[in-house]
Structure 1
Amino acid sequence: MSGGKLDGRVALVTGSSRGIGAGIALRLAADGATVVVHASADSRDADKVAAKIVDAGGTASVVLGDLSTADAPIDIVRETVERHGGIDILVNNAAVSEYHPVPEFDIKRIDFELSLNLRAVLLATGEFARRTESPHGRVINISSAAGKHPAHGRSVYSATKGAMEAFTRSAALELGERGITVNAVAPGTTVTDLFEANERKDPRDWRGLFARWTALRRVAQPDDIADIVAFVASDDARWLTGNTLSADGGLVTTGTNIARYSM
């Protein structure tokens, strides 16, 4: 995988054993990056993603860590640097979205979602900023359309993504003088393993419903999101920082009220 736009660069993608994260890992590797594939505790799916990269001629390794803990977000960045001699790209993708109506709030569930979706992003980005010596450092935070559009039972998740986007702007301001860009990509509904599992549980035509909400009349595949992330990671996006790119197929153009729907 030589001759790509990311040749010689090292990328850590959190939550990249499946779904959007796996798509991002594969695409960055296709563009020449050495990719560190992350999973929480079970390496089997991450090993499969890394094997695909290696089989295609790329370089990949696997790192494990529960990002809801205080140490793991820092440790996986350190381990990336120790293994590969540096780090150029950090993609904060790992997240959880739990159905959690306001009257049913409890502290353990709130803390878990805040820790994984937000605190881990702050800690990993801080360690990246301390460790990177790259002249083209990239931090890419994977947000969500839920950061702007309310969805029933997902208020904690929405709050974490809204906060992530605010952090993206502030971190871009602080790190810009070092040439590090910080941006967010906010996917809409994307067909992942979790989405398909939910489809099997519920006979309603969720895919058709979500497709009607978008200007392009379909739901995203992981590759749709990965291609945008690859652009933001490249030198082509060198003048882009502090932004959130809506990768939702035109959800914002349809004026659809999605607030009462949730899978």
Structure 2
Amino acid sequence: MNNALDGKVALVTGGGRGIGAAVALRLAEEGADVALTFQRNQQRADEMVDQIKTAGRRAVAVRADSAEPAAVVGVVDRVADEWGRLDILVNNAGAFLLGPLEQLSLDEFDETVAVNVRAPFVASQAAVRHMPAGGRIINIGSNIAERAVFPGFSLYAMSKTALIGLTKALGRELGGRAITVNLVNPGPTDTALNPVDGPNAGTITGFTALGHYADPADVAATVAFLASPDGRYITGATINVDGGFTI
């Protein structure tokens, strides 16, 4: 087993399902102890904890609403206090609210910005209080930030585009502390929200150069690389894991 992350502690927000779950498991397989947050599905979160423990690492799942800043800070501080350190933060939790511009409400706007923009900022702010040199912050965005080919994505695309600026600025600010900050933009990925056999999958696949969806493990592999020692000289970067959707 590759132990590139042996002795490291990671926190993955929204780690109970989909891409977040794949990231949490991959980091554990690479040697990290992993905490994850979830909002609703306790059973799925418990299953993830069991899988991580089966990989031989410590694991904990914490129910937390990423729209609540106090909950975000509380999870970061809890992990650092109970496990003695925090080396890797993966800001993965997201709100996916779509609709025509004239039908989107201000409540939906506020929720999207709270989860997709404010939560990564707040979590990063809390995490760097604990992070040693060599720390990693990895934001999970979306290829929609670079290519919105369908109507109804204005709110979601706006929120994910904000992560580009956050990533670049934090990469510059934290570079002197040897903490890297990067953004991974997944493209079409086979998850419960966007299954490979869904009604629009054929159209979506047609926009990719490779002609197929990603598996969540493909995104997790990129996150694991950025979290590893091999990723130490990459910061402020946006990496598209989208099968060529944006080219």
TM-score (norm 2): 0.96
What residue is the counterpart of 1:261 in the other structure?
Answer: none
* C-alpha deviation, 1:56, in angstroms: 2.5
What residue is the counterpart of 1:257 in the other structure?
Answer: none
Distance 1:8 1:55 in 2: 17
Deviates more, 1:104-113 or 1:225-234: 104-113
Equivalent position amino acid for 2:236 in 1: G
Matches within 5 A, 1:24-43: 24-43=23-42
Question: Does the 8 Å contact 2:8/2:32 carry over to 1?
Answer: yes
Q: Identity over the aligned pairs, expressed in percent?
A: 39
Equivalent position amino acid for 1:146 in 2: I
Distance 1:210 1:177 in 2: 41
Distance 2:192 2:104 in 1: 27
Q: Deviations over 1:115-142 (max 9, x none)?
A: 011100100000011122x221000000
Question: Does the 8 Å contact 2:138/2:223 carry over to 1?
Answer: yes
Question: Does the 8 Å contact 1:41/1:66 carry over to 2?
Answer: no
What residue is the counterpart of 2:63 in the other structure?
Answer: 64
Question: Does the 8 Å contact 1:97/1:154 carry over to 2?
Answer: no
Unaligned runs of 5+ in 2: none
Distance 1:27 1:184 in 2: 17
What residue is the counterpart of 1:145 in the other structure?
Answer: 143
Unaligned runs of 5+ in 1: 254-263
RMSD: 1.5
Matches within 5 A, 1:162-241: 162-196=161-195, 199=198, 204=199, 206-241=200-235
Runs of 4+ in 1 over 3 A off after TM superposition: none
TM-score (norm 1): 0.90
Deviates more, 1:135-144 or 1:212-221: 212-221
Per the alignment, in what secondary structure is the counterpart of residue 194 of structure 2?
A: helix
Per the alignment, in what secondary structure is the counterpart of residue 251 of structure 1?
A: coil
Question: Does the 8 Å contact 1:70/1:120 carry over to 2?
Answer: yes
Deviates more, 1:64-73 or 1:27-36: 64-73
Equivalent position amino acid for 1:147 in 2: A
What number of residue pairs does the alignment pair up? 246
* C-alpha deviation, 1:197, in angstroms: 9.8
Q: Deviations over 1:201-258 (max 9, x none)?
A: xxx4x222222211111111100100000001011011000000011011122xxxxx
Equivalent position amino acid for 2:118 in 1: R
Question: Does the 8 Å contact 2:195/2:201 carry over to 1?
Answer: no
Per the alignment, in what secondary structure is the counterpart of residue 94 of structure 1?
A: coil
Distance 1:224 1:197 in 2: 14
What residue is the counterpart of 1:105 in the other structure?
Answer: 104
